[in-house]
Amino acid sequence: MPIHNSDISSIFDQVADLLEITAANPFRVRAYRNAARTVADQPQSMAEMLEQGGDFLELPGIGEDLAGKIVEIVETGTLKILEELQEEVPGNLSELLQISGLGPRRVAALHRGLGIKTLEGLAEAAEKQKIRTLKGFGEKTERHLLKEVKRREKSDFTIKLADAEQIAGPLQAYLEKTKGVKRVVVAGSFRRRKETVGDLDILVTCKQGSKVMDRFKSFEDVDEVLVKGDTKSSVRLRGGLQVDLRVVPEVSYGAALYYFTGSKNHNIALRRMAQKKGLKINEYGVFRGEGGDGDRIAGASEEEVLSAVDLPYIEPEMREDQGEIEAAREGKLPEIITLDDIRGDLHSHTKATDGRSSLWEMAEAARLLGYNYLAITEHSLAVRVARGLDRKRLEQQIEEIDELNEKFRGFRIIKGIEVNILEDGSLDLPDEVLKKLDLTVCAVHSGFDLSAEKQTERIIRAMDNPCFNILAHPAGRLINKRAACRLDMVKIIEEALDRGCFLELNAHPDRLDLNDQHCRLAKDRGLKIAISTDAHHSGALQNMRYGVYQARRGWLSKNDVINTRKVADLVKLLKR
């Protein structure tokens, strides 16, 4: 049974959750949290690393104890300490932590006060108005919790794009080793780089007689075979993800790839356009005549399919029926950003706060990526759980950065801070300190449940401060965990543009915040974006690709993103 990094990360997070509920030592809890993030951010599979004799002690924040636990999970699929904690903690209390607004202390209070053990029990108590009777909750919190439970019940099964990558990559490589197989490509929402993926659609071209279907259903992660045929098979993997495999002929490869990449609405719009030209497009090709009984005129490649209807190539990330066909027809498709366009990262942390790599290690990792600069933006004082910097510690780091910068040629560490936006819109460090920095990244880290009006006013008041440069992870969401804040994003964008501020597209796989629609909105208004990783260790700088995927879905070009610029031009942009 294969163990993915996401499995290990999830187990460590579960341990941390249960330890918090039992009021364990906070340093122990933090160690498991950090380990979960470290593993999740690693580009290499922990299972592969173990097989190749790699040393987990080389990973940031991983000591002998945690390294041993990674080995235990890879070899057994579980962790003894988690099983012990699950016996100690009643019911499914850890599930309750997935509800926005519930931390370990509140979960423990709900269990002690009302005997709540499950999401169903939480909903029942909220409906019967029992939660408001507990100290520290109240009517407003009760309504919010009920709303969150019901929202969770309605949501379809999806996994984060980064987790889907960890499954799709090994499966694709496994299928490519099948005798007679020529091409294997993962289509669907995965190819469009949607932030969450509900299933995987894989297309294969192969020689006649290939045993690819038999090999597919024998993949070690397969839990159930749903359909087994000569040209199509479907399986459900151990984690619940459904995977469909289709064998397509070379002559139809492009048409099939286009069709199964989607989106559905994009395909419908394309077919309607084809019909007006007396053509029919389906997964088998492009045919003359609306009935599809004429000659096949295209289908071997996607470019061929689009050329048949007089369109240039449309990138997969843009195929959402959001005006891309009209733009293509008019020659107005933007040349969207690529990872190679990125010159630096404007949001990262070190060991000085809650990061797991030193300042030098972060800088060296950025240089190895070919970057010209890296902004170090530690948390400020208000984020106490991250050991945020006060004025004295920030000034010490400024000196350390200045000393390091003297040693570099063609690379610069940008002096920054991730300062907290307090509920009244003020920043939690004085202006005389912020003025010593090159960059101030500002973020909301509490008070997520304010009304849209109050949350929007809070952020605009913060942007009034001339030290404010970039609004970090603007909506404050965590994918599949915490809903976005209520915000008037149109107003935020317009006010940021008016003040010379920028918005961040946070590339962390848990966030991808801004979403694609807000990227389009910012582009249309003329507001430029920073794509940053929010990296907490050196390996996490490689998460930049997820931000670029999201930016491409939002039609952003190189010129729409500020960290595609040379450092001198960037510094000019940041001066308000």
Are the C-beta atoms of 214 and 258 separated by less than 8 Å? no
Q: Which residue has the tokens 């990244």?
A: 441
pLDDT digit string (tens) for 96-140? Answer: 877 877 877 888 888 888 888 888 888 888 888 998 898 888 888
Note the pLDDT of residue 25.
Answer: 86
Residue 52 lies in a domain: yes
CATH of the domain at 91: 1.10.150.110
What pLDDT, in 10s, does the model give residues 33-73? 889 988 988 878 898 888 888 888 888 889 999 999 999 99
Per DSSP, the three-state class of 508 is coil
Residue 334 domain-assigned (yes or no): no
Q: Are 547 and 512 in contact (CB under 8 A)?
A: yes
Total structural domains within the chain: 4
pTM: 0.85
Round the average pLDDT of the chain to a whole number and report it. Answer: 92
Q: 218 and 123 in one domain?
A: no
Cis bond upstream, residue 263 (ω within 30)? yes
Segment 129-153 shows an average pLDDT of 84
Instruction: Report the CATH number at residue 352.
Output: 3.20.20.140
Q: With a cut of 70, say whether residue 1 has pLDDT above it.
A: no
pLDDT tens, residue by residue, 233-257: 999 998 889 999 999 999 999 999 9
* Domain final residue pick, 232, 247, 262: 247
Does a structural domain hold residue 299? Answer: yes
Whether the per-residue pLDDT at 471 is higher than 80: the answer is yes
Q: What is the domain-level CATH number for residue 235? A: 3.30.460.10
Question: Residue 129: left if φ>0, alpha if ψ -120 to 50, beta else—which one?
Answer: left
Asked whether residue 529 is domain-assigned, the answer is: yes
pLDDT at 276 over 60: yes
pLDDT digit string (tens) for 289-323? 755 567 899 999 999 999 999 999 999 999 999 99
State CA 341 to chain mean position distance.
Answer: 20
Residue 168 lies in a domain: yes
Instruction: Classify residue 52 as exposed, middle or buried by CB count within 10 Å of its CB (0-12, 13-18, 19+).
Output: exposed
Same domain, 65 and 118: yes
- From the number of C-beta atoms within 10 Å of its C-beta (0-12, 13-18, 19+), residue 175 rates as buried
Supply the pLDDT for residue 550: 98
Do 487 and 557 reside in the same domain of the chain? yes
Give yes or no: residues 175 and 145 share one domain. no
In 83-101, which positions are buried (b, 16+ CB within 10 angstroms) versus exposed (e)? eebbeebeeebbbbbbbbe
Same domain, 228 and 89: no
Q: Domain check: are 83 and 227 in the same one?
A: no
Whether residues 143 and 238 share a domain: the answer is no
Query: Does one domain contain both 80 and 25?
Result: yes
Buried-exposed string 442-462: b where 16+ CB fall within 10 A, e elsewhere: bbbbeebebeeeebbbbbbbb
Distance between CA atoms of 526 and 41, rounded to whole angstroms?
Answer: 32
Burial class (CB in 10 A: 0-12, 13-18, 19+), 58: exposed
Which range is most confident: 20-34, 83-97, 148-162, 319-333?
319-333
Helix (H, G, I), strand (E, B) or coil at 474: coil
230 and 359 in a single domain? The answer is no
- Tell me the pLDDT band of 143, cut-offs 50, 70 and 90: confident
Q: Are residues 290 and 211 both part of a single domain? A: no
Last residue of some domain: 154, 184, 214?
Answer: 154
Higher pLDDT, 540 or 480: 540
Q: What is the pLDDT of residue 254?
A: 97
Same structural domain, 50 and 82: yes
Domain assignment present for residue 265? The answer is yes
CATH number at residue 271: 3.30.210.10
Kindly state whether residues 262 and 114 are assigned to the same domain: no
In-domain check, residue 293: yes
Q: Which helix (H) or strand (E) holds 245?
A: strand 242-247
Q: Which of 119, 154, 189 is the last residue of a domain?
A: 154
User: 556: domain range?
Assistant: 339-574
**Which pLDDT score is estimated for 292?**
54
Q: How confident is the model at residue 483 (pLDDT cuts 50, 70, 90)?
A: confident
Least confident of 59-73, 264-278, 320-334, 498-512: 59-73
549 within 8 A of 336, measured Cβ to Cβ: no
